[in-house]
Structure 1
Amino acid sequence: MGVLCCVDGKTSFVWRLLLLIVCVAEMVCGQVRYSVPEEMATGSVVGNIIQDLGLEVKRLRSGRARIFTEDGSEYIGLNAEMGTLVVAKRIDREELCQQLSPCSLHFQIILDNPMELHRIDVEITDINDNAPFFSKKEYNFQVSESASPGARYSLHSAKDPDVAHNTIQTYKLNPPDNFKLNVVSRSDGTKYIEMVLHTSLDREKQEEHTLSLTAFDGGNPQKSGSVKINVVVLDANDNAPVFSQSVYRASVPENASKGTVVLRVTATDDDKGANEEVMYSFSHHTDAAASLFKIDTHTGEITVISVLDYEKAKNYEIDIEATDKGGLADTSKLLIEVTDQNDNAPVISIISLSNPIPEDSAPDTVIAMLNIKDLDSGRNGQIKCFITRDLPFKIKSSSTNFYSLMSDDVLDREIMPEYNITITATDDGSPPFSTNKTIHLRLSDVNDHAPVFPQSLVNAFIPENNPPGMSLLSVKASDQDSGNNARISYFLEDSQLNGRSASAYFSVNAQSGEILAVRSFDYEQTKEFHIHVKAQDGGSPPLSSNVTVKILIQDQNDNPPQVLYPVQTGGSVVGEMVPRSADVGYLVSKVVAVDVDSGQNAWLSYKLQKATDRALFEVGLQNGEIRTIRQVTDKDPVNQKLTVIVEDNGQPSRSATVIVNVAVADSFSEVMSEFTDFTHDKEYNDNLTFYLVLALAVVSFLFITCLVVIISVKIYRWRRERMFYQSNGNLPVIPYYPPLYADVGGTGTLKQALSYEVYGTTDSRKSDLKSPHPFSESTLNVDHCAARTVPRHKTHSEHMFVEVRAARFSLP
């Protein structure tokens, strides 16, 4: 469908600039044609592309609509706010197209997201803005008086850059007494004018004639140009030179070297002597061709003197004159055709580029739009375009001279983050020319990889009794993505450890992944923990992975050995009895101890620290067995006191001591008589000490209680008087508390009795402290008042004890 719109040629020049009608001629595949006159004011509307292309203004904005011209000209602009094409700068049709008609501007409107291409043709119509003019200010002719009527004198045609009816239409010669004008049409359709002698000249009557030649164009208003013609009448040279052809034709390749002969023209003169000598020259209005060619004035040989370029000019039209010495001349036209040679490589222009593109772009995503052209013609201008085959991209022709670079496979930034895409354009000339254009394409990251820990399980060690806030280790995860998608944060997964949340024991630094101990640990309570640390990236949506951290508590030597046997009590002295008939190596007793630590911290050794007679007893270093090392004699005292020290193997080591009383006697009565005095004295001293301490405690308690009561009463009275004055006698009601009211908030000072059940073996390194239970031991216990045996419950320690052949006893 087409809409025809033109400018009224009969209106004034001003109206033609203001009034224009847009013409959309046969719109095919997004092509629109407009027609506007030249010399329109800048900002004048050319056409409404919103209406003609069926677009919307918001589409122009979102698509970043812009104009692309292959030659870079900017005569037409785009008003994206109004959706109109406007004149961007002055358009001179003659400067733009010279004599070419019709004269058109060709450009494309390009839109992105998605990419669209619309071809626009704007025809520039001519207005009569140029008057005819002659290349010379005046013409001088020498005409022989013997010239016969009908003699022709070539005149240079006037020039008018306008075209069609605005160019030169008629010529007028004034005065027309002796000469008249003759318009000659050549076989190639061109015209030139001649001044023809109408009546014979008589030099004796008038030696010089002055004429005026005026050229008129067909514009409205009509314009004209004049040139002065001076005619000097000479004597007899009756014959003018005559060219052998009225039109000469020649062709020359554009790569012709300087000095190449194009053609030789010839003209003859029937006169004799000096009048037949002919001089050849170019007409003055062929100045452009004169810079490329020259003619030998004597031979008529035309040669190349400069570089020819087919892409700038394909044809040259030269007017040649042959003049004799009498001033007679003839003219002919030389038409030179420049033949094309493959001397131009293709030109690649990037008119639109999306860089970077997301790595998850689907195949056939348009990356770039290219304009590729070759200034040569024919096969020399035919282009083949391709890219390297091993790249996941392809190039596709979208329209004449336009190509689209598209993705052709799945892209992965982690495998190949960027590409150098070399586009090669080759023409079909001989030899062919090619051009390369490299596009450095980057891929933008998409969060398609989760953080990865190097190991799924990590072991960490921390000594017990550690200070809170101690660093255990740092976990690190890696992410193949980049930017925020690779920014990793670390979190402690919520889980239960010993009935409490994992955050009560450990914390994780979100940036560094450093794991810190929130509290101090006791190896004897918990030996290891299992926690889970999550690494999460900053993508949207975020991706994460976990690592299990096994935290092992390392034992420290923080517990001294505990002696299980013999039991040390404050109310009685526990001892062992050795008969005097005991042999060497007699087992007197066995010291049993345990250490709740582990490893070498629980390896125990036994040593005899002090003894009444060190030469009589020894202690086993590993088992704690007390044995005799010599035969017992009658001289050995009955009362033997041994001090045994138990040490662990820690660094530094810890120890405990135990006193073992041994009686060297054959009967129990011998032992009783030996210890009677000692027991009574000890009992008296112990009772006296107890009563003195008790009396001191009672007196101190009464004194402190009275002091607190007095101070409390004083403070209470002072506060009551103060409140009375402040409240003007309105005292608050004092709550009543029952006389037996007591605080049950758990602040009592009574200590809870704790006891531990100890499990031991003959090897103290494997002993352990299990759980709170009352401790008891089976011994012979003698009361202070009477020798009364009190049985106690057997514990597990008695079952592991070795048989002791010595009699156990207890003395008051």
Structure 2
Amino acid sequence: MMSVVQVSSREMLAETCIIMLLLQRCFSVDLTYHVEEEKNSGTYIGNIAADSLLMDSVALQDHGQITFNQLQQRQSERAQLFNVSKTGKLYTTEKIDAEVLCTYNTECFRIIKVAVHRADSFMQILKIKVYIEDVNDNYPVFPKESISIEFSEEHSKGVKRSLPNAIDRDVSFRNSQVSYVLEKNLNEPFTLSVTKRGFGTSELGIVLEESLDREIKDTYMLQVIAKDGGVSPRQGVLKVQISVIDVNDNPPVFSDRVYNVSIKNTHRTSVPIIILSAKDLDYGKNSQVSYHFSSKTSEGTKKQFRLDENSGEVFLRGKVSSNRISSLKLYIDATDGGNPPLSSIALVLVNIVSQQNNAPTIEINFVSRLKENVAAISEGIKVGSFIAYVNVIDNDIGLNGEVDCEITHEKFQLLNLGSNEYKIIMKKQVDREVKEFYDIQLICQDKGSPSLKTVRKFSIQVMDVNDVQPQFTKDTFKFLTYENEKPSFPVGFINATDPDLGDGGRLTYYLTGNRKKIFPFEITNNGFISTIQSLDREQQDIYEFKVFVKDNGSPSLNNTANVIVEVMDENDNAPYFTFPSVNPFNLDVHYHPQSKNDITVIRASDRDRHVNSFLKYEIVGGNNKHLFTVNPYAGVLSFSRTVY
């Protein structure tokens, strides 16, 4: 029997109105979601049905009637980035790139519209706002990897050269915010100027902190590091080459301000009397030097000389028709190619000498003469010791015959005795091991005009004195040798050196040590150690003694070093039993089948070392019935089976 419940139409209408009001209130809620860019297609974003609380107002049995559909939008809005399932779950449809979708430093989001249906009837449209969160996936990038800029030597502090700024394509402020650091050497006079501009960009510049000098350094290599503000910051690098542009700030400089040149009145016109040289530290045209007669040079003098403006060579224009001594002054300008040009001046004193003038003659008498122009001294010679007598002869008249002399070495001194006589003495001590030969010049110059000079070259050889102790190459010499070798077996080589000459550098070696011990070794005069008898490692494996070396100088000098000889083992000892210690050996054994199989432990020893002393045990006879076995390494003798 069926029971029928009748509901009036007014009650049904009231119930329907309540449900519609509840649904209308729920469907008016907008939702907001966040998703990171660069996530794979199909990434889950959220559950619209659950997050909108819509299902809370619908009976559980009616949940299946609620469906969701994404509405089609304009192509420009890229709504196809997302997909809404029938059950209201929101997914991405492709990998999203915030830098493609959005502009710098703005909220990056997309609005999608979702229609909600119940059964076949339309109920509500939800607006879903999806924020696309930027990730730090872009490096700051400069337009170029490197750039070249220039500063001039004339630039002062504060001059700036612009640099391109780096661009980071990330859209969020933090990830695209770029900071800059200048990498340079500590003493390089540059700083980085950074001025913030709009849209995350900056105005960059290299600022000069002090004037530059191209002659000291003409090129600088710097790096500008651009780093973004991400949690794991990324960075880009701009290499900056700075070239210093030359300014004509250095005049040409002669090697001397005054040049003295003496020529004969028969000097040939094709041979230069002097070659002038001036150096300019500038670069390019600023360093190109030309030579000209200065306005200070008289016109009459200019007519007698010719100057090559490129090479600086000075020539006579013709023969000087004079038998007397004369002096002419040439003022030479060296001018560079700068704009404006810089110049410097030098004076050339040209002394034209008649054939009647004579240079001084030098005679030297050595205390100890080895050969022509070579004297000998001992390295032990004292300061002030007499070495040679010098006599200078100049038969010219007047100032032409007055002579001054000097010696050119700091170890020796020339003393004037008067009347053009001198003596050479020691000024400083000498050491033959440091230097054996000294080349010396004795220069004598008269006071004539022009002055003539004579240079006498000679050598002094330092003779050796035994003043250096022999030195071993090591404090301790370590050698390995073998036992059982025949006498005279080589052990090793001892090396000592002595820089003295002759007997002072000739060495003799001896072995020394504890007098109570007799060492089975001998050493030759050349330092070779060998055995004098066969060695037995089992008696002694380490020998320690000293080697004594002395030179054969007078007095003799000596030194000592330590020697350690280790004797290497040979397999020259047979193993011997320590248990049983008698042969034959009788052993009574009480056997029981239930007892342990071990009988006893065989012990043996070997006086050799290492692998030569490793032992292995085996039964070699009397075990025909295979009743016994022995552990090859432990020596344990055991029953190998039951006895009966």
TM-score, length basis structure 1: 0.35
Q: Which has the larger radius of gyration?
A: 1
